Amino acid sequence: MSFETIPQTLPMARRDRMAVLARSNAGSLQDLWALLGLKPGCTPLRGPESGLVMLRGRVGSSGEAFNVGEATVTRASVKLDNGTVGHAIALGRDREKARLCALIDALCQDVDTAARIDAELIVPIKCELDDADEKRRRQTAATRVDFFTMVRGEDR
Amino acid sequence: MYVAVKGGEAAIDNAHRLLADRRRGDRDVPALTLDQIAEQLALGVDRVMSEGSLYDRRLAALAIKQARGDLIEAIFLLRAYRTTLPRFGYSEPVDTGAMLVERRISACYKDLPGGQLLGPTFDYTHRLLDEVLDGDPAVDVGLQRTDAQEPATHIADILGAEGLIEEDAPAAASEPGDINQTPMEFPLSRATRLQALSRGDEGFLLALGYSTQRGYARSHPFAGEIRIGEVDVELFVPELGFAVPVGRVQLTECQMVNQFKGSAKVPPQFTRGYGLVFGQSERKAMAVALCDRALRAEELGEEVVAPPQDQEFVISHCDNVQATGFVEHLKLPHYVDFQAELGLVRNMRAEHEAMSGSEAREAAE
């Protein structure tokens, strides 16, 4: 599992995909995965295992880093029969989700498979997450104060 | 000589069985689910995550259920649980400026960019009990406003442009202290104090913050900005060579703005107290920010005259797990200690009587 064995093509896309997978709802993820009908052979390299990550903030929001507190996190690494390695890490303690996300990450190292998985699994999940964000933004916006001034006194 | 006394085993077993029975309560009432606790007692869950110093909503809900709603007991359970897990690493510092804001208010500027976003607040409610909630009434969903909104700018960026407010100290090259890994040694850096305050007891910090407003370590605070919302957490993964977003956490951030008369080096300006805590915990974040500012007294050349400015006093006593451990240990058997003290008091009384007896004789003579 050395650095060299990981294909470094499209790291940004890989990172974006991993971000979507990490935030995905385990139920929707399982459903969309089942619809893909992929049955790749693979072996676990590490985990799935749960542990802690110490969350950091910045003093005053932009100063030096400080430790706020810990969060549970679960990670997994798998190796496909063709030798490709995939990784996953997400907040929470869902081991099955971490294992599946690592498997998807490994499969997406192949460009053609990645295109199919992105279209049929990643994009639908991302749309769902973005919609939820947009709804929350709009609900917050509805609580925005619109100040207005009132003219008072006898003078006209 | 040390004599161990046994015999409590059966009583303890039965007490724990009785605890489980009382925790469940009337069997005709449906058992609480963790989803119900996490969804409908969300702010209690937030407090347990914050003071338990472990962000995991479901575990905090479980702890509250197991502790029968005793939040300090629930916090204790969460702290104990976290010691069973390995530490995978440190996240990249979160960017609260990029927060998906659910509430953001400023008491300093009426018309700041992004506006005053009230969010789901108790403020402006009349604090009248709502008997409708005794049932399960249908509840309307939140309204949505669809016109384009500008991003919510940090207050510090506004005042900072005029040089009227202190800038954040630049990022240090060294790693910040971590009280979960190394014992505390005073004096603590501001970064380490903020970690301790972030998991400190809300009630204790609230009382100390209140005392600064009433005149102990006067600091003339304004709520410069309070924001609540979710931020992305990123973790560097060595196997990949880049930081991966691993999900989001909800945080509350408070920037207190405080008057500062200046020193030989610095002209008069506003200084800031800062608070960052897990979940939606506005009162706690404000209290942390007040205490953070008070604890900077020495750094800012202010006279240390009150408890909130004394870091050993504040930090050593703000942890409710430590506090409850030491206070509650008093109920454990101290039979031998007490026997020893009993003997001592008897001896002292005998000496006292002998002394006063001889004084009385002397007076009579």
The tokens describing B25, both together, are 């309560």
By the CB < 8 Å criterion, does B160 face chain A? no
pLDDT class for A131, splitting at 50, 70, 90?
very high
B35 touches chain A (CB under 8 A): no
Q: In this structure, is the dihedral angle defined by the CA atoms of residues A54, A15, A93 and B201, taken in order, positive or negative? A: positive
The residue-averaged pLDDT of B1-23 equals 86
> Count of A–B CB contacts within 8 Å?
234
Q: Which chain A residue's Cα is nearest to B150? A: A141
Q: With contacts defined as CB-CB under 8 Å, which chain A residues touch B156?
A: 60-62
Nearest chain A Cα to B224, which residue? A60
User: How many domains does chain A contain in total?
Assistant: 1
Residue A91, domain member (yes or no)? yes
Question: How large is the ipTM?
Answer: 0.90
pLDDT band at A103; cut points 50, 70, 90:
very high
Interface test with B, best of A59, A74, A77, A78 (most B CBs within 10 A): A59
What pLDDT is recorded for position A147? 87
Q: Tell whether B300 is within 8 A of chain A (Cβ).
A: no
A79 touching B (Cβ < 8 Å): no
B73 close contact with A: CB closer than 8 A: no
Please report whether residue A150 resides in a domain: no
Burial of B126 (0-12, 13-18, 19+ CB in 10 A): exposed
A123 belongs to a structural domain: yes
Instruction: Report which secondary-structure segment, H or E, holds A135.
Output: helix A123-141
A5 has pLDDT over 70:
no
CA torsion sign, B244 to B245 to B249 to B251? positive
Mean pLDDT of B186-208: 96
Beta-carbon separation of A70 and B88 below 8 A: no
Q: What pLDDT score was predicted for residue A10?
A: 40
What lies within 8 Å, CB to CB, of A41 at 6+ separation is A80, A81
B66: contact with A, CB 8 A cutoff = no
Residue type, B263: S
For residue B351, what pLDDT is reported? Answer: 93
Residues B217-250 have pLDDT tens digits of 877 899 999 999 999 999 999 999 999 999 999 9
Residues of A in contact with B149 (CB under 8 A): 137, 141, 144
Mutate to test the interface with B, among A5, A21, A49, A55 (most CBs of B within 10 A): A55
pLDDT at residue number B318: 96
Tell me which chain B residue has its CA closest to the CA of residue A58: B93
> Do residue A142 and residue B142 have CB atoms under 8 angstroms apart?
yes
Q: Please identify among residues 179-208 of chain B the ones whose CB lies closer than 8 Å to any CB of chain A.
A: 179-180, 190-192, 194-195, 198-199
Residue A144: inside a domain, yes or no?
A: no
| Whole-angstrom distance, CA of residue A81 vs CA of residue B8 | 58
- Which residues of B fall within a CB distance of 8 Å from A52? 54, 82, 85-88
CB A69 to CB B239 under 8 A?
A: no
What pLDDT, on a 0 to 100 scale, did the predictor assign at position B3? Answer: 61
Q: Which of A12-21, A76-85, B45-54, B89-98 has the least mean pLDDT? A: A12-21
What whole-number percentage of chain B has pLDDT above 70? 98
**Structural domain contains residue A147:** no
Using a CB–CB cutoff of 8 Å, tell me whether B361 touches chain A: no
- Would you state the structure tokens that stand for residue A147, as one six-digit string? 């100040």
pLDDT one-digit tens code per residue, B104-158 = 999 988 888 899 999 999 999 999 999 999 999 999 999 999 988 888 888 777 7
Chain A, 6 to 25: residues with Cβ < 8 Å from chain B are: 6, 8, 11, 14-15, 18-19, 22-23
**Range of lowest pLDDT (A9-18, B20-29, B218-227):** A9-18
Q: Which of B94, B117, B179 sits opposite A55 (nearest CB)?
A: B94
The tens digit of pLDDT for each residue in B292-302 reads 999 999 988 88
Averaged pLDDT for residues B242-266 = 89
The pLDDT value given to residue A1 = 35
Average pLDDT, chain B: 92
What is the per-residue pLDDT for A3?
38
Share of chain A above pLDDT 70, in %: 90
SS3 state at B104: strand
- Domain range annotation of chain B: 9-82, 96-119+150-166+183-323
pLDDT digit string, tens, across residues A30-64: 999 999 899 889 999 998 999 999 999 999 998 99
- Structural domain containing residue A23: 3-136
pLDDT for residue A145 is more than 50: yes
**DSSP states of B170-226:** PPPSSPPP-TTTS---SSPPHHHHHHHHHTS-HHHHHHHHHHHHHTTT---EEEEEE
Query: To the nearest whole number, what is the mean pLDDT of chain A?
Result: 89
